Structure 1
Amino acid sequence: MWPPCASIIETNGGMLMSLESHLAQLQRKHGDLDQQIESLQVAPAKDDLEIARLKRKKLALKDEIMRLSPPVHH
């Protein structure tokens, strides 16, 4: 049985992972997309449709990160 304080989620592939490791994975993907977008934006023959697609994907990742992140108390 899992410890009660552990946040375990199931990924699309059916794997179980901690919420913290899932958030870290999402943040890595978000950063990777950011780098891809920057590379495409400076390319001589930039593909605006591809850039827009990657930006939508990056925003969806950010939304998921925010949804899964614990609330910040100030």
Structure 2
Amino acid sequence: MFRRREAVPFAFVAEADRFRSNVTPPPRHRATVPEVVGRTLIGLTVAAGFVGALLFGMPALDTNHASGHSQQSEASQGR
């Protein structure tokens, strides 16, 4: 690899910590009432979707399914 012959001045990094700007940032934008209501409705819709998916998915996750018992009972009766 090539080697630099001159040292890299890192003094500007140290000066950056001490630098203060005299320019004030613009004021923060406050959300209006319709924006807050819209965000709340979107959040509630997403939460309701998760709850609905959980409620509809619970029967599929049930290990004691009725058809599983009937298959086991048929197999035990056939012996």
Normalised by the length of structure 1, the TM-score is 0.38
Q: Which has the higher strand share?
A: 1
- Bigger radius of gyration among the two: 2
Tell me: higher relative CO, structure 1 or 2? Use CA pairs within 8 A at least 6 residues apart: 1
Normalised by the length of structure 2, the TM-score is 0.36
